[in-house]
Amino acid sequence: MRHHCPVRRWNGWIDEDDAPPRVPVEARRLLEAEIGPGEPTADARLEDVAAGLPPSVFDDDAGGRLSLEPVDRIRHARGQSLPDWIALRSGRLGRVPDAMARPADAAAVRELFVLARDRGAVLIPYGGGTSVVGGVTPDPDDDRPAITVATDALSGLRALDERSGLATFGAGTLGPDLEAALAPHRLTLGHFPQSWERSTLGGWVATRSAGQQSIGFGRIEDLFAGGRLEAPAGTLELPPHPASAAGPDLRQLALGSEGRSGILTEATVRVVSTPRVEAIPAWFLPDWPRALEAARDVGRAGLPLSMVRLSTPLETATLLALAGNGRGVRALRAWLGIRRIGPEPSLLLVAATGPEKLVELAVREVGSIVRRHGGTGVGGSLGRQWLRNRFRTPDLRDALWDLGYAVDTLETAVDWRRLPDLATAVGRALRHGLEGDVNGDGEGERVHAFSHLSHVYPTGSSLYATYVFRSSADPDETLDRWRRLKTAASEAIVEHGGTISHQHGVGRDHRPWLAAEKGELGLAVLGDVARRLDPDGLVNPGVLLAGDPPIAGDAP
C-alpha cells in the first residue's frame, strides 16, 4: 500500500516542515502574570514511538486492503483534543489502531464491513482527524482489533448541477479542495470552520459542524442536501430534494452520526454564487453587560450578516496582546478612552457578505444598534487582520505548548435569557477549576480562561471558551488538570441549560453529558437507530453512544 504522509505534523497542528509562530512578548507577559511562567516539556519522537509500538494483531494486509505500517497506525491513532495532544507529545498513546484502510469507493467500504465482521474487528471512520472530542480514537474498553478507515481517497467533485446549485463531492474532500473545485464556476459552499484547511466534508456532516460564517451561509445541516451512507445493514440513499413533507428527514441520521452508524462516502451540498462584497467592520463596547445587549439586538434584527463575534473583555485584552503591536494598541486604548470606552472594552466583529447595497445597509444598521449601547466603530483593519489569520490562530497552540502551556477550547449554545449566567458560570468553573493542592504547594494552578460569542442567533447564542493552563512534566498530571477543568465546565454548561456542544460534537469526551440533552428515551431511540444500521456495533463503537446502548423499550 502507498505510504501516505499527511502534511500536518504527527503530534500537533502546524505543517510538518514549519516552525511554530512566535508568541509576542506582550502575550507572554500576560500569561506569566495570569498563570505563571511555563516549563517546556520534552516531546516524544515519532521514530521512537514507532519502534516501541506493539505489533498489529493482524498478520496479513487482507490482499492489500490494510496498512499495518506503524507510522500509518500512529498517525491515525488520535485527533486534536487536548488528551490527544498529551498522548502524542508524551508518546504514551494508549490504544493505537491495528491497521489503517484507505477505500477508494463505496464498494471498497462495503468490503471493509465484511472484513471487519470476518475478523471480529471494528472500523473507525477518519476524515481529517481534527476531532476535538475523541471521535477518532479506538475505544479503550473494547478489545476487538481496530481498523481506521481513512476517507482521503473518497474525494473530489463528482457532479455539479449549476442550474440547481447542487454539488456532489466525495466525503473525504478537504475544505480547500472543495472550494477550489467550485471557484472556476464562481460558486462557494461558504463553510469555513477554523479547521477548514484540514477537515473534510464527511467529517463536517458527521459532526454537525458550524463554519465561522454559518449564520449567513448556514450550518452544515442547512448545506447538506443529501448523500450516501454506507452502513453494515445496507446503503442509505439520501436524495437531495429541495424540501419534503414525506415523513421524518432521514438526512438527520447522517448529520451528527459521528461515524456511529456507517461511513458517508459522498455528500451533495447546496452551493451559492460567490458573494460580491464582504465587509468585516469592528466595534468596541464599553463593558460586558452592554456588549451582550448589543449582540442580542444585532442577532434579533434580521440583518443579512454572516458573522457576529463578540469577545469578553478578557478575550479582547488577550487578542490585543497577541497582536503584538504595543504602540498601536496603546494608541487604540487612548482613543477608546476619549470615546468613553474602557478600561475593559469588548470587541465586536461583524461580517456582512453579499450584494453591495445589502452589505452597506447591514453595516449601517449594526452601527446604529451598537451606538445605542454606547459602542464605537473602529473601521475595517481589525476585521481584515482577523480574515488574514482566521486559519492561522490555532498554530499558536503549538507555540504555547513549546512554552509549557496547554490550550483547549469548549463551546455551547443557550437562549439569551440564560446566557449571562451560563457565561459567568463557565468562566468561573474554568478559572477556579485547578484551585487546591494540585501542584503540591497548597495554592494550585491558575487558569487563563476567556470566551466569545461565536454564532449569534435570534433566540440565543453560542459561547466559545478558550482556557490556558501550565502543563506538567508528568503527562498524567496534565491530563488530570484537563479532566478537572473539562468536567467542571461541562457541569456548569448542563446546569445552566446549555447544549454540551454547539459545533464540536460528542465523541467520547462529551458522552457523559449527552443524556442531559436527549433524555433517557431519546438516547435509547438513537441507540436503536445505530443498532438497526449497524447490528454488530462494527463502526465507531463508544463514540456518541455507549458501545452497547440501551434499548428504547427498556426506557421509562
Q: Which residue has the cell 468596541?
A: 284
| Beta strand residue intervals within 133-232, DSSP E | 146-150, 157-161, 166-170, 187-188, 224-231
CB-wise, 80 or 90, nearer to ligand FAD?
80
Residue 316, C-beta contacts closer than 8 angstroms, at least 6 positions apart:
284, 344, 345, 346, 347
Q: Which of 255, 263, 362, 523 binds ligand FAD (CB under 6 A)?
A: 263
CB-wise, 389 or 439, nearer to ligand FAD?
389
Q: Which of 188, 472, 490, 503 binds ligand FAD (CB under 6 A)?
A: 503
Which range, of 66-74, 120-128, 243-251, 309-317, touches ligand FAD by CB under 6 A? 120-128
Which amino acid appears at position 266 of this protein?
Answer: E
Q: Which of 31, 101, 264, 414 binds ligand FAD (CB under 6 A)?
A: 264
Q: Could you tell me if 258 and 207 are in contact, meaning their C-beta atoms sit under 8 angstroms apart?
A: yes
Q: Which of 66, 86, 123, 171 binds ligand FAD (CB under 6 A)?
A: 171
CB-wise, 125 or 460, nearer to ligand FAD?
125
414-473: which residues touch ligand FAD (CB under 6 A)? none
Confirm or reject binding of residue 537 to ligand FAD (CB under 6 A): no
Min CB(151)–ligand FAD separation in Å: 5
140-159: which residues touch ligand FAD (CB under 6 A)? 151
Distance CA 263, CA 153 (A): 13
- The number of beta carbons lying within 10 Å of the beta carbon of residue 25 is 11
Q: Which of 38, 97, 135, 299 binds ligand FAD (CB under 6 A)?
A: 135
The radius of gyration of the chain's CA atoms, rounded to the nearest angstrom, is 23
Which range, of 114-122, 193-201, 332-340, 361-369, touches ligand FAD by CB under 6 A? 193-201
Confirm or reject binding of residue 412 to ligand FAD (CB under 6 A): no
Confirm or reject binding of residue 112 to ligand FAD (CB under 6 A): no
Q: Could you tell me if 288 and 343 are in contact, meaning their C-beta atoms sit under 8 angstroms apart?
A: no
> What is the grid cell recorded at 132?
476535538
Confirm or reject binding of residue 543 to ligand FAD (CB under 6 A): yes
Q: Which of 67, 90, 137, 199 binds ligand FAD (CB under 6 A)?
A: 199
> What is the grid cell recorded at 319?
487578542
Q: Which residue has the cell 431519546?
A: 522
| Binding map of ligand FAD across residues 200-239, x = CB under 6 A, - = no contact | x-xxx-xx-xx-x---------------------------
Confirm or reject binding of residue 188 to ligand FAD (CB under 6 A): no
Residue 144, C-beta contacts closer than 8 angstroms, at least 6 positions apart:
120, 121, 122
Q: Is 33 exposed, middle or buried (0-12, 13-18, 19+ CB in 10 A)?
A: exposed
Confirm or reject binding of residue 492 to ligand FAD (CB under 6 A): no
Min CB(101)–ligand FAD separation in Å: 13
C-alpha dihedral (144, 523, 219, 310), degrees to nearest 10: -110
Q: What residue spans of 152-207 are helical by DSSP H? A: 175-182, 201-207
Min CB(43)–ligand FAD separation in Å: 18
The closest alpha carbon to 492, from 513, 478, 506, 477, belongs to 513
CB-wise, 341 or 413, nearer to ligand FAD?
413
CB-wise, 124 or 419, nearer to ligand FAD?
124
Confirm or reject binding of residue 56 to ligand FAD (CB under 6 A): no
DSSP states of 224-252: EEEEEEEETTEEEEE---S---SSS-THH
Confirm or reject binding of residue 542 to ligand FAD (CB under 6 A): no
| Binding map of ligand FAD across residues 387-406, x = CB under 6 A, - = no contact | -------x------------
Confirm or reject binding of residue 190 to ligand FAD (CB under 6 A): no
Distance CA 305, CA 376 (A): 19
Beta partners for residue 283, in sequence order: 348, 377
71-90: which residues touch ligand FAD (CB under 6 A)? 79-80
Distance CA 46, CA 56 (A): 17
Distance CA 125, CA 495 (A): 32
240-259: which residues touch ligand FAD (CB under 6 A)? 258-259
The closest alpha carbon to 2, from 82, 70, 102, belongs to 102
| Residues binding ligand FAD (CB under 6 A) | 79-80, 124-132, 135-136, 151, 171, 193-195, 199-200, 202-204, 206-207, 209-210, 212, 258-259, 263-264, 394, 503-505, 540, 543
